[in-house]
Amino acid sequence: MGGSRLPATLTGLGLIDEWHIVVHPVVLGGGKPLFRSPQERIGMELVESRAFDGGSVLLRYRRRPA
């Protein structure tokens, strides 16, 4: 919710501890970036992946401790 700017801002402020990203197997040829040029590298670890009928995949990442 809120477009791509809200999560980018919250991530930059260190306010997001976990990301749930759903990848849909569709080629559109463009779109908005998920993370807009972060100021610093974000350490993330994959904690879950789940495939659904139709090819979509849920990727759940958690912020890696500093």
- pTM, to two decimals: 0.73
15-64 pLDDT, tens digit each:
989 999 988 887 777 766 776 666 677 889 999 999 999 999 999 999 98
Q: How far is CA 15 from CA 24, 30, 50, 55, 57, in A?
A: 26, 28, 25, 31, 25
Using the structure block, give the residue that is written with the tokens 């197997």. Answer: 25
Residues 44 and 35: beta-carbon distance below 8 Å: no
SS3 55: coil
